[in-house]
Structure 1
Amino acid sequence: MFKKILRVLFTLIGLVLGFVAGQSLLELNRLVYFKNSTILSIIFLIFSSLVLGLILFLLSPWINSLISKIMNYFEENIQKIPTVEILLGTFGAIVGLIIATLIVSLIPKSIVGSIISIIISLILAVIGGDIAVKKKEEIINVLSNIKKVGSSKEKKSKVAHVGIPKVLDTSVIIDGRILDICQSGFIEGALVIPNFVLDELRHIADSSDSLKRNRGRRGLDILNKIQKELSVEVQITDRDFPEIDEVDSKLLKLAQVLKGKVITNDYNLNKVAGVQGVPVLNINELANSVKPIVLPGEEMTIQIIKDGKENEQGIAYLDDGTMIVVEGGRRHIGETMEVIVTSVLQTAAGRMIFARQKR
């Protein structure tokens, strides 16, 4: 239907152009024989209109195909650009054109002056759009602050902490401990959550696997609680890097652009970030750091839960989940006993305590 409408429009344009061209030829006194006769003039105008109309009618399929290709090209490329960048780029280009208008008004009117004016307008429009896109985060922050200042009817205002932005990855959101850490007040600065992380969470929440589905929904619930119940500033950014496929790589790139840190509990992401020089806050490392320090020779009361891997070993756990391996504890499973710490082993998975029964 669209192609048929375009074909009709091109045909009408050809008829109009043919009429205008025929009239121009008659006025140039090159067709005196036709000009002196009204009937011949009308016939000539009809002929010229039909000729150009027919030409554009025949060429319209190729023109339609060219237009379709151009539209598809722009559509595919525009879809990769975030909406915010398109709006800010347009706004910046308009500002650039306004400045260009003021400058162009000072240029003398002539053919050369018109060409210079067009060039200046195009350059300033491109510069304005480019600056607006590059300063997107600053512009959004300014607008957000203005909105917060102007809104006096907020029931619960978010406290904008001064500090380095913290970019959350998918694993730490699903883990859930970030909510408790934020409640404790140890996190300063804005929490930045990219849209591509939200998309990954939604994809996990829609998974056919029940375990993955529950993990994804838990992550979305944690985000909802952070936004509604805490006074921490949360920024949802649609900044994306289409040239990068992996979510982890996008996270590290975003942290570099924002000059912030990544909060994660992903061991591999932690290592890659170290190679790329991106600061990382690892939740697991924090958990190990705040566990109580136990020294050899200390006494403690524990309950043996199960047997260990080696002969006669029993296993117990502290309240924070630290595993205690007790020599000769297998025969005391289910009993509460006093033990003496013999050694402490720190591993990548956590801390292990070795002990023996107090005599």
Structure 2
Amino acid sequence: MRYLLIIFGSASGYIIAKQILGDNLSAIVGFISGFFISILAIIFEQRVKKTPLRIVIGGAIGLITGLVVSNLISYTITTQFIESSIPKILIYILVNLLFGYIGLSIGMKKGDDFDGHNIYTLFGEKHETKAIKILDTSVIIDGRIADITDAGFLEGEIIIPQFVLQELQYIADSADGIKRVRGKRGLDVLQRLQKQTNTKVTIIDNDFPSIKEVDAKLIALAKEISARIVTNDSNLSKIAELQGVSVLNINNLANILKPVVLPGEVISIYVLKEGKENGQGVGYLDDGTMVVVDNARKFLGRNMDVVVTSVLQTTGGRMIFSRVKDEDVKTELH
């Protein structure tokens, strides 16, 4: 198809130049011009495929406006001041190229700046807007996103792609009881989000039939609409960031918000089970942080005060190491 376009463009350039100017040299120039214009058209087509729709529409409107203005100017100049045909053609070409380029550039810029919810962005400076957020399946099922948005910590429009909704429905209809419960929980969380007055939730039909994986579709959609992905999937976070997509990981937020515990502090813990090492006991803080207590095996099933000795921070969370407070040991011994 592209080869046919090049052949057609070259032949058209040859015929048009031959008809207008008459000599063979001009026809050859027309042939070469048609060839290069066809190549540029193919390159332009490839670029347009990767360009967001709002920029394409803005560019098209700008180009049409520029060409209308340029032809009005060219007509006025050529009818009033120029009689020879060749200068007229050159003026039409140059003025159309100039105003067409200006219109295309301004249109694409305004299309990129345009906020569909605010028409005034077309006529003023571009202001920083609240970024669009796309929710993935894992963060919807997790449920904490509803509490975060309800508290007002997540601003901007929330997008739920149709393919994510379909995945939730598939999980909710699963024969596996655990998966079914998780899927229904996710649908309940979506209903809760839609009822919140401080959050706009939109379900969109954008899909990528050539892409099979839901995670890959999320990344492609985020690139297309310049959005951020909200997830608690660490693998999706890493892959998206490698491809230049901004990610908000709920687990990272949860880790950041955990109370700070410093070595030497005394905390109260319920010794729930034995640790891996000999004599260790293990308990948990209210936020789920694991606390390993040395020499606490004999205190299983008891609440006790322990002294923090060190804190280990990992990508999966944090772990606190501690020892039994001296007073507790003495009490037990007596």
Pairwise TM-score range, normalised by the shorter structure: 0.5 to 0.7
Deviation at 1:302, TM superposition (A): 1.5
Which of 208, 213, 219 is the matching residue for 1:252?
219
Q: Which residue pairs with 1:114 in the alignment?
A: none
Q: Which residue pairs with 1:312 in the alignment?
A: 279
Which of 224, 229, 238 is the matching residue for 2:205?
238
CA deviation string 1:262-310 (max 9, x = no partner): 0001111011012101110001100000001111111112111111111
Q: Which residue pairs with 1:213 in the alignment?
A: 180
Are 2:160 and 2:204, in contact at CA under 8 Å, matched by a contact in 1? yes
Which of 290, 293, 311 is the matching residue for 2:260?
293
Q: Which residue pairs with 2:94 in the alignment?
A: none
TM-score by length of 1: 0.56
Q: Which residue pairs with 1:356 in the alignment?
A: 323
Q: Which residue pairs with 2:269 in the alignment?
A: 302
Determine the C-alpha separation between the residues in 2 that align with 1:165 and 1:312: 51
Q: Which residue pairs with 1:29 in the alignment?
A: none
Deviation at 1:230, TM superposition (A): 3.9
Q: Which residue pairs with 2:44 in the alignment?
A: none
Query: Is 1:279 equivalent to 2:246 in the alignment?
Result: yes
Deviation at 1:229, TM superposition (A): 3.1
Are 1:182 and 1:230, in contact at CA under 8 Å, matched by a contact in 2? no
Are 1:170 and 1:197, in contact at CA under 8 Å, matched by a contact in 2? yes
Q: Which residue pairs with 1:268 in the alignment?
A: 235
Determine the C-alpha separation between the residues in 1 that align with 2:254 and 2:299: 30
Q: 1:332 to 1:188 in 2, by over 3 A?
A: same
Determine the C-alpha separation between the residues in 1 that align with 2:231 and 2:216: 13
Are 2:159 and 2:201, in contact at CA under 8 Å, matched by a contact in 1? yes
TM-score by length of 2: 0.60
Which of 305, 310, 313 is the matching residue for 1:343?
310
Query: Is 1:186 equivalent to 2:153 in the alignment?
Result: yes
1:284 is matched by which residue type in structure 2?
Answer: N
Are 2:152 and 2:198, in contact at CA under 8 Å, matched by a contact in 1? no
Are 1:162 and 1:188, in contact at CA under 8 Å, matched by a contact in 2? no
Q: Secondary structure at the match of 1:216?
A: helix
Q: Which residue pairs with 2:298 in the alignment?
A: 331
Q: CA RMSD in A?
A: 3.0
Show structure 2 runs of 5+ residues with no match: 1-52, 72-106, 120-127, 327-334
Are 1:167 and 1:192, in contact at CA under 8 Å, matched by a contact in 2? yes
Q: Secondary structure at the match of 2:269?
A: strand
Query: Which segments of structure 1 move beyond 3 Å, counting only runs of 4 or more?
Result: none
Q: Secondary structure at the match of 2:217?
A: helix
Determine the C-alpha separation between the residues in 2 that align with 1:312 and 1:271: 38
User: What percentage of aligned pairs have identical amino acids?
Assistant: 55
Q: Which residue pairs with 1:154 in the alignment?
A: none
CA deviation string 1:197-253 (max 9, x = no partner): 001111111111111111111101000010013420111111111221111011011
Determine the C-alpha separation between the residues in 2 that align with 1:207 and 1:334: 39
Show structure 1 runs of 5+ residues with no match: 1-84, 104-130, 147-160
Determine the C-alpha separation between the residues in 1 that align with 2:276 and 2:316: 17
Which structure has the greater CA radius of gyration?
1
